[in-house]
Structure 1
Amino acid sequence: MAFNDTLVVYSDGNPIDVLRACPVLDKPATRVLAERLFPGATLEEIGDELLADALNPPQDVVYVGSFAGLDLVCSWALTPQRPSQLDPAVLEAGGRKQVLLHAAHSDAEWCSFGLWRDGTLLRALSVCADPGVLEDKGERLAFEAAGEHPVELGDRALQALIGFSCAGHDRLDDVDPELIPVVAYRVTATTAGTAS
């Protein structure tokens, strides 16, 4: 599994509970969400994928999973360097109570995560090995350890917030990203003067 990931999760409750239950994909809802996230763009459905293989998408591809009580999106185009800079339109696109953002890049030794409830930012952290902390807002979450390397912290955050680890130290109650289906869309920006 890739050690690079970008993930936005919209949920009504605990996303780990929903994902652990191997939810059924609502394919039409994935297109509706993709269209909300990329208004005006051309979206070409290019196949189904598993979340395990969708975490580090190509720049022009978005992976979307829509389920009862939860939606998730993998797209580098939506991921800011600092969680607090998440576009308000992206924040509101899922229309659910809670939004989680997680992104990590092991080569850059960088991780970032954010947590919003009812539109209010509760926690935002973005940190890399050099130059260090890029953003640190809100109270630390229980899983955060002071001085932890960004790659290890990113993996710990993924485990705590979404329910699985990219490092492969699976626990019996982990979410299995190889059982979570998503839909891939190629995103092409509509150029000026092109009929929509």
Structure 2
Amino acid sequence: MESVVTLWFVTAADPAGVIAAEPKADRGYGRKFLAQLNPAWPITPIGEFPLNRSAQASAGEYYVAGFPGVTIVQTVLHDSPALSDLNPRLLDSVPAAEVFAFAVDPESGYGGIAHWRGGVLKRSLCAERTRTYEDVGLPAPFEAPFWAGERAESVGGISLPFEPIELVAEAQRAWLGVDVSPEGPDIHVVAYAVDGRPAPRVPEGPRRRDAASRRPAAPLSSGYDDYEDAPSGPPERAHWADRSLSAARRTGVAAARGLRAARTWVQEKIRHSDRG
């Protein structure tokens, strides 16, 4: 069975307050976390985005965020659907007073919740609507309306009176105090691949492509960024050429005036010499 699990390692007294500040995830933290989890993995950063506004992690991927007192890790599980069987290496990867796990598989309707305190499993419920894989510990108060059939229509038989995936969403709000829906605060994570894939290429933005298509083969001026349009009006060199031409014209006019004045002076001198 394959499901997406999100682990919260919590030592902060108020994890909701930490998330409400919308801190940025540190790329270096996630790389170090994965290197310690399995030194043989090839680690490739593949993106940065809000966990609660993106698609869930796929096989070979880890979404990681390390904040003061809160570490979040999302990945894909391929082993037992019982969260009590979670790989100890992953479960103990971050020292924490409390660890919460939330697992879902939308295709099968599977949902799982688990809570460890001081390394001891306090509660785990992992099930599909018609099959329960694990039910450990006492139900938490937020579970009461689900067991009472107040959150879903009854389908009869041995089916649970609720949808396990809906219980997962409620458990996150109750245990963490955090709204992990798209309406909640951004939960920033860095995504990594550990299956050897290359880093994704950054696509060209439309402004860069448009600017490149407008750029002449031999530009008159090269002082503009690719993302900016060149300012309107004549290029710089054309501007100076216009000024030089104007200056030459002014110089020519002045020279012609000087030549006419000299010719007049010579003619006057000749006339005065004839009179003498």
**TM > 0.5:** yes
Amino acid at match of 2:129: A
Range with bigger deviation, 45-54 or 88-97:
45-54
Residue equivalent to 2:9: 10
Report the TM-score when normalising by structure 2: 0.58
| Equivalent-residue separation in structure 2 for 1:69 and 1:79 (angstroms) | 29
CA contact (8 A) 2:81 2:126 kept: yes
- Shift in alpha-carbon separation, 1:104–1:93, aligned structure 2, 3 A: same
Amino acid at match of 1:127: A
2:112 counterpart SS class: strand
- Shift in alpha-carbon separation, 1:63–1:164, aligned structure 2, 3 A: same
| Equivalent-residue separation in structure 1 for 2:79 and 2:142 (angstroms) | 22
| Equivalent-residue separation in structure 2 for 1:77 and 1:152 (angstroms) | 20
CA contact (8 A) 2:24 2:189 kept: no
2:142 counterpart SS class: coil
Report the TM-score when normalising by structure 1: 0.80
| Equivalent-residue separation in structure 2 for 1:55 and 1:150 (angstroms) | 20
| Structure 2, gaps ≥5 residues long | 148-160, 197-276
Rg larger in 1 or in 2? 2
| Structure 1, gaps ≥5 residues long | 190-196
2:56 counterpart SS class: coil
Amino acid at match of 2:8: V
| Equivalent-residue separation in structure 2 for 1:165 and 1:29 (angstroms) | 22
Amino acid at match of 1:164: D
| Equivalent-residue separation in structure 1 for 2:55 and 2:117 (angstroms) | 23
How far residue 66 of structure 1 moved from its aligned partner, in angstroms, is 0.7
- Shift in alpha-carbon separation, 1:77–1:109, aligned structure 2, 3 A: closer
Residue equivalent to 1:120: 120
| Equivalent-residue separation in structure 2 for 1:48 and 1:148 (angstroms) | 34
1:57 counterpart SS class: coil
User: 1:39-50 residue pairs with structure 2 within 5 A?
Assistant: 39-50=39-50
Query: For each residue in 1:92-116, what CA deviation from the matched residue of structure 2 results, as whole angstroms up to 9, or x when unmatched?
Result: 1111211110011232111001111
Residue equivalent to 2:193: 186
User: 1:108-187 residue pairs with structure 2 within 5 A?
Assistant: 108-130=108-130, 132-144=131-143, 145-146=146-147, 147-162=161-176, 163-164=178-179, 166=181, 175-176=184-185, 179-187=186-194
Q: What is the Cα-based RMSD across aligned positions, in Å?
A: 2.2
- Structure 1 runs (4+) greater than 6 angstroms displaced: none
Higher strand share: 1
| Equivalent-residue separation in structure 2 for 1:158 and 1:104 (angstroms) | 12
CA contact (8 A) 1:44 1:186 kept: yes
CA contact (8 A) 1:25 1:65 kept: yes
How far residue 151 of structure 1 moved from its aligned partner, in angstroms, is 2.6
Higher helix share: 2
| Equivalent-residue separation in structure 2 for 1:8 and 1:56 (angstroms) | 13
User: 1:40-79 residue pairs with structure 2 within 5 A?
Assistant: 40-54=40-54, 56-77=56-77
1:75 counterpart SS class: strand
- Shift in alpha-carbon separation, 1:5–1:89, aligned structure 2, 3 A: closer
| Equivalent-residue separation in structure 2 for 1:78 and 1:68 (angstroms) | 30
% identical equivalent positions: 25
Query: For each residue in 1:30-80, what CA deviation from the matched residue of structure 2 results, as whole angstroms up to 9, or x when unmatched?
Result: 211122333421111122121124561111111101111111011014775
Amino acid at match of 1:93: S
| Equivalent-residue separation in structure 2 for 1:150 and 1:32 (angstroms) | 34
Query: What is the number of equivalent residue pairs in this alignment?
Result: 177
How far residue 18 of structure 1 moved from its aligned partner, in angstroms, is 1.9
How far residue 134 of structure 1 moved from its aligned partner, in angstroms, is 0.8
